[in-house]
Amino acid sequence: MNIQGKTALITGASRGIGRAIAMEFAHQGVKRVLLVARDYQRLVDVAADVEALGAEAIILALDLSQPVEVSVAIAQAWRNHGPIQLLVNCAGIAHQKPFLQSRLPNVQEEIAVNLMGMYTITRLIARRMATQREGTIVNVSSLMGKVAAPTMATYSATKFAILGFTQALRGELAGQNVQVIALLPSLTDTDMVRDLQWFRWATPTTPEHVAQALVRGLQKQSHEILVGWQSHLVLWGDRLAPWLMEKILLMAAPLSRNQQPPYSRHRYKLTEEL
């Protein structure tokens, strides 16, 4: 896909990978970028940077876990600034915990944003793209949508689900000339990972590098865009010797460094159930 002169909507555009994608799109000649996230002030700053690169920026300060709010805003945005030819579903959150210490509200939040938020906005835009018979949808999964790892069980579950969602939609919408693809970043230096305990041997890439990989993947019409050689290595390893990859992931996970079982008699409390 050639993105020059197109209108794109990017969720999670206030910072991190979403912000870098907005900047890279503007740099590559996109005509208009609709920026979605909750933090209005951060979006104002991103919009100024996008406009400095020559693209028009529209701010949509939205909480993707609120379907009514999203529905009204997208209907208005399509009317005033559409049609949208490119949707990038980048908003996401991650909670890292050993599963036995996990909290239901955190898991609900991951599902509400990573899955239900993506579902809500995709349905609204995909229907309009299908009518228009033109569009590309990029769903941001993760390398953890291919290989799950200790301490990230619930986050990985949402990222695996995104790949299934993407594959099914690709088949369904192909007849309406709407392409659906996945972007699978590996560890990237953003706010999301600053408070996480990193996996041993993982070296972070930059959000700008991820955004450039997306643009290259769009040009090549790839169905799944991996970022960096480490990701290719992990996927090949998983295909050829899944048992070995599982052992390596276990050794690399932060869990192996703090081997304090949360369910030991001294530490496990019923109050931790929720």
Ligand X SMILES: NC(=O)c1ccc[n+]([C@@H]2O[C@H](COP(=O)([O-])OP(=O)(O)OC[C@H]3O[C@@H](n4cnc5c(N)ncnc54)[C@H](OP(=O)(O)O)[C@@H]3O)[C@@H](O)[C@H]2O)c1
Active-site residue set: 155
Chosen residue from 111, 193, 235, 252 binding ligand X by CB under 6 A: 193
Binding to ligand X, residues 13-32 (CB under 6 A): 13-18
Size of the site for ligand X (CB under 6 A): 32
What angle, 0 to 180 degrees and rounded to 10, lies between the N-to-C axes of helices 229-240 and 242-252?
130
Let me know: does 141 contact 163? Beta carbons within 8 Å: yes
Chosen residue from 9, 87, 88, 90 binding ligand X by CB under 6 A: 90
3-state secondary structure of 254: helix
* Nearer to ligand X among residue 16 and residue 150 (C-beta): 16
Give one DSSP letter per residue of 197-243, joined into a string.
PPPTT---B-HHHHHHHHHHHHHHT-SEEE-SHHHHHHHHHHHH-HH
Chosen residue from 82, 92, 217, 228 binding ligand X by CB under 6 A: 92
**Residues 6 or more apart whose Cβ sits within 8 Å of residue 140:** 12, 17, 88, 89, 90, 92, 162, 182, 183, 185
Regarding 82 and contact with ligand X (CB under 6 A), the answer is: no
3-state helix vs strand vs coil in the chain, percent to 5: 55, 15, 30
Chosen residue from 82, 185, 217, 228 binding ligand X by CB under 6 A: 185
Other beta carbons less than 10 A from residue 27's beta carbon:
16
Query: And the tokens for 245?
Result: 């990859």
Residue 152 CB-half CA count within 13 A: 27
* Nearer to ligand X among residue 7 and residue 141 (C-beta): 141
Chosen residue from 12, 98, 135, 217 binding ligand X by CB under 6 A: 12
Chosen residue from 91, 138, 226, 249 binding ligand X by CB under 6 A: 91
Report, in Å, the least distance between residue 209 CB and ligand X: 12
User: Taking contact as CB under 6 A, which single stretch among the options 73-81, 100-108, 189-197, 233-241 is the one that binds ligand X?
Assistant: 189-197
Report, in Å, the least distance between residue 57 CB and ligand X: 14
Report, in Å, the least distance between residue 201 CB and ligand X: 15
Binding to ligand X, residues 42-61 (CB under 6 A): 42
Cα separations in angstroms, 170 against 78, 83, 122, 135, 164: 22, 20, 12, 12, 10
* Nearer to ligand X among residue 16 and residue 82 (C-beta): 16
Query: And the tokens for 260?
Result: 């304090």
Report, in Å, the least distance between residue 78 CB and ligand X: 18
* Nearer to ligand X among residue 13 and residue 26 (C-beta): 13
Interface residues toward ligand X, by CB under 6 A: 11-18, 37-39, 42, 62-65, 90-94, 113, 117, 140, 142, 185, 187-188, 190-193
